[in-house]
Structure 1
Amino acid sequence: MKKKEIKPKKVETQEKTKKTETEDKKEEEVPEPKEEVIEEPEVKEEEVVAPEPVKSFFAKTKEIFTTKKITAEKFDDLFWQLELVLLEHNVAVGVIERIKDDLKEELVDKPLPLSVSKKVESTLKKTVLDVLTVDSLNIIDEIKKKDEPYVIACFGINGSGKTTTVAKLAHLLKRNGLTSVMAASDTFRAAAIQQLEEHGKNLDIRVIKHDYGADAAAVAYDAISHAKKHDIDVVLIDTAGRLHSNVNLMDELQKLCRVTSPDLNLFLGEAITGNDCIEQAQKFDEHVGIHGIIMTKADIDEKGGTPLSISYITKKPIFFLGVGQGYEDLEVFDKNKIIEKLAI
């Protein structure tokens, strides 16, 4: 009798299959790891707060002088505040002393009007106008009076704008019906000679030049000779920038003046340099004898004290203000505009 073959049960296989299916399902169910998103803290833009407007020169004085009666002691206590305001506006100490004396005379131990601030204002205006009142001359009229070429020499430190200002003067003369020639006596900078030549082409005005490093006085002399020969009204001499503290270089300018005998020596200084500009003008006056002043970069001078101070300290008139880079940007000096800038 044959034994029946007992087939092995497929339970284990089925169980394994079930386990595999379960594991597969679990694998399917396992969520993919999410990228961790790090949220950066929100950066708030800082609000740009506009700076408070600077109070005008006189607005500050109104805050200082509010009392109806001022004794000498009270005046001294109050004036130091006004002095700070004046110094902030590049007003020289000598001018401040003058203002102090005038205010003291008008205000101390005297019956004052109802509005002390108006009294202060009128006194300040009068003092500033007096300070700016220096004997001057009309350059155009002076040129027309002279039969021979009128010689104008321009002096100043490096970067004060001499070459550009010489071109502006040439343009001004041309507008007034006067002829001119420009002397490239800044022989220490090749670029200065090229710059003046470029201005000459633009303005259709002759430029007399020598080679780089040549004798500056010789260039100026040749320009004067050219002017005499061709009946030209004015010779404009552009000189090299000099540090006012360098005695040897300043002596070279004296030689130029001896050779050419200028009718008008002009000091050119930057209005934005404050008391440095005054010191420069004094040194140039000692060496070459300046007759007048041109303030350059006056268009970016927000304080207004330098023209006021330089004229008072040097006792020289300011003829023009440079107010830009264009040939037209040379204004005849107007002291009322200085008062406006000081907001008096």
Structure 2
Amino acid sequence: MFESLKKKFSRTSDKLEEELIEEAQEENNLEEESGKKFSFFSFGKKDKKEEDDFESDVAEIPQEVESIHEEAEETSDDKDEKSGFWSFGKKSDDDNKEPLEEEESAEEIQEEEEPKKSHFWSRNKEEDAEESEEADEKTEEKKSRFWSRSNDEDSEEDEEDEPGGMFSFITAKTISEKHLEDILWELEMGLLEGDVAMEVASAVVDSVKDDLVGRKIKRSNDITEYTYNALRNAVAEIIDIPGKSMTEMIEAKKAQGEPLVVMFVGINGTGKTTTIGKLANYYLKKGYTPVIAAADTFRAGAIEQVNYHADNVGVKLIKHQKGSDPAAVAFDAVEHAKAQGKELVLIDTAGRMQTNTNLMDEMKKIKRVAKPDLVVFVGDALTGNDATHQASKFNEAIDIDGVILTKADADSKGGASLSIGYVIKKPILFLGMGQGYDDIREYDADWMLNQLFSESGEEVTVDEV
């Protein structure tokens, strides 16, 4: 996903590095340094890997230390036991001394036993030394294993970066507006070519500029890292539009004993009816009972199409004859859901251009009669700026509450995904990710950010919300 956008982000970093290195060469302020040159997308991998490694190392080190400590205690206990035994023996001998004759016999006995005792002690000293050596070896082995693991991971990490090409500045460079002027202009043009809305492109460029100007750079890798973080932060602000999820709203309505009523709008050909089938299937699997209203009574074959999806996923369809009042169909579907205790009503409406005044008025009538809790615009991600423009017009006409983008998996530019929520100030609720009924996912800004800042072709996942 979003391969074109990723290349533009990476190119921005490369251009800034070229600019600063070229200037440093002219100033005789550059020296080659040993080390690996990091690629633009490697910083995302490192952040995640460092976080995982830190957690695992913190968990493992105490266990290793505890194990070594226990071994040391065992050795100490053994010595204490031996020391206690012999001191007890000596004390007993002193307390039980008899007259001289008995002392002499005791001395004779002691002389006979002394070699044995000496041999016993020397043997125990050897055993203690061997145990101590074994404990030291285990400790060293664990340390060696721990550090070799860390070194192996560092090696694997380094393999992901580009060999050589690492430079440092003798005197730290400071990024100025002069360095960024041409580079950010090129980034803005690239975003516009990728169907990113003008106001979104400007917001990204301004944010990156504010983040980078004044940054002090010591090494070439710093340039890549700062640019990566500046772009990631800028995009994070753009795509994270607050709003409740549809699932949360269903639960809230269910607590009131009411169904959540959702009305779908958009132009023909965006995949609106198929999306309704996907959502019905999605919420069936979550344990809810949806009902679909076939309120597109104008288009030939529309009722048959939505009926096909309802049958495939196994949900009730409320329909009237072709040409009947679509508002009446929507009203009947809501009443059916209330009477049957169903939690979700999905209203399919006729696809229409946002410029068709009569059809837009008809849609407003459906909204007045059905009183939907959500009005959702369904747009095609591949149409880029057109989808954003359509959403804006629908929002002006009937005040939409959220967006579903279809064909997001096939979108290489990413313009609509980046722009649509920011422009109309309404959240993206779902993304269509394929042709099957299971190919839909609730929108997650963190997941989207990971897709935008991962290597091309690399699949990045996060836990489902």
- The answer to whether TM tops 0.5 is yes
- The residue identity in structure 1 corresponding to 2:7 is S
The aligned amino acid for 2:199 is G
Q: Where do residues 45-84 of structure 1 align in structure 2 (5 Å cutoff)?
A: 56-66=7-17, 67=20, 68-84=173-189
Q: What is the rounded CA distance, in whole Å, between the counterparts of 2:5 and 2:427 in structure 1? A: 30
**SS of residue matched to 2:258:** coil
Paired position in structure 1 for 2:408: 298
Measure, in 2, the Cα distance between the counterparts of 1:218 and 1:253. Answer: 12
Q: Give the length in aligned residue pairs.
A: 292
- Please name the residue that 1:116 is paired with: 223
225-234 vs 164-173, which deviates more?
225-234
Check conservation: 1:61, 1:117, Cα contact below 8 A: no
Partner of 2:322: 212
CA distance in 2, matches of 1:64, 1:93: 22
Find the aligned partners of 2:414 and 2:451 in 1 and give their Cα distance: 6
Q: Which moved more, 1:141-150 or 1:286-295?
A: 141-150
Counterpart for residue 333 of structure 1: 443
Name 1:342's counterpart in structure 2.
452
SS in 2 for 1:277: helix
What amino acid does structure 2 have at the position aligned with 1:128?
A: V
- Residues of 1 paired with 2:5 and 2:251: CA distance? 46
* CA shift digits 1:125-177 (9 cap, x unpaired): 11111111211212222212211121001111111111111111111111111
Q: What runs of 5+ residues in structure 2 fail to find an aligned partner?
A: 21-172, 455-465
SS at match of 1:240: coil
Give the partner amino acid of 1:178. Y
| Structure 2 SS opposite 1:319 | strand
Mapped to 2, the partners of 1:289 and 1:56 lie a distance apart of 35
- Match of residue 203 from structure 2: 98
Counterpart residue identity of residue 257, structure 1: K
Aligned to 1:319: 429
Q: Aligned equivalents of 1:234 and 1:215: distance in 2?
A: 21
Unaligned runs of 5+ in 1: 1-52
Per the alignment, residue 418 of structure 2 pairs with 308
SS at match of 1:135: coil
Q: CA deviation at 1:62?
A: 2.1
- Which residue of the partner structure matches residue 88 of structure 1? 193
Query: Shift of the alpha carbon at 1:328?
Result: 0.3
Conserved 8 A contact 1:321-1:331: yes
Percent identical pairs in the alignment equals: 44
CA distance in 2, matches of 1:343, 1:305: 15
Are 2:234 and 1:127 equivalent residues in the alignment? yes
1:110 to partner: Cα distance: 4.1
Shift of the alpha carbon at 1:305? Answer: 2.5
- 1:199 maps to a residue whose letter is H
Whichever residue aligns with residue 191 of structure 2, its letter is L
How many angstroms apart in 1 are the aligned matches of 2:374 and 2:5?
A: 39
Range with bigger deviation, 201-210 or 83-92? 83-92
Q: Does structure 1 residue 139 correspond to structure 2 residue 246?
A: yes
- Displacement, 1:290? 0.9
Of structures 1 and 2, the larger Rg is shown by 1
Q: Provide the secondary structure at the position in 1 that maps to 2:426.
A: coil
Q: What TM-score do you get using the length of structure 1 for normalisation?
A: 0.80
Task: Provide the secondary structure at the position in 2 that maps to 1:268.
Answer: strand
CA contact (8 A) 2:263 2:347 kept: yes
| Residue-by-residue CA offset, 1:222-263 (whole Å, 9 max, x unaligned) | 111111121111110000001011122111111110111100
Over 3 Å counting, the alpha-carbon distance change for 1:162 and 1:70 in structure 2 is same
The farther-off stretch of 85-94 and 233-242 is: 85-94
Task: Write the letter of the residue equivalent to 1:208.
Answer: I
Q: CA RMSD in A?
A: 1.8
Select the residue among 197, 209, 212 that pairs with 1:107.
212
Q: Please, which moves more after superposition, 292-301 or 76-85? A: 76-85
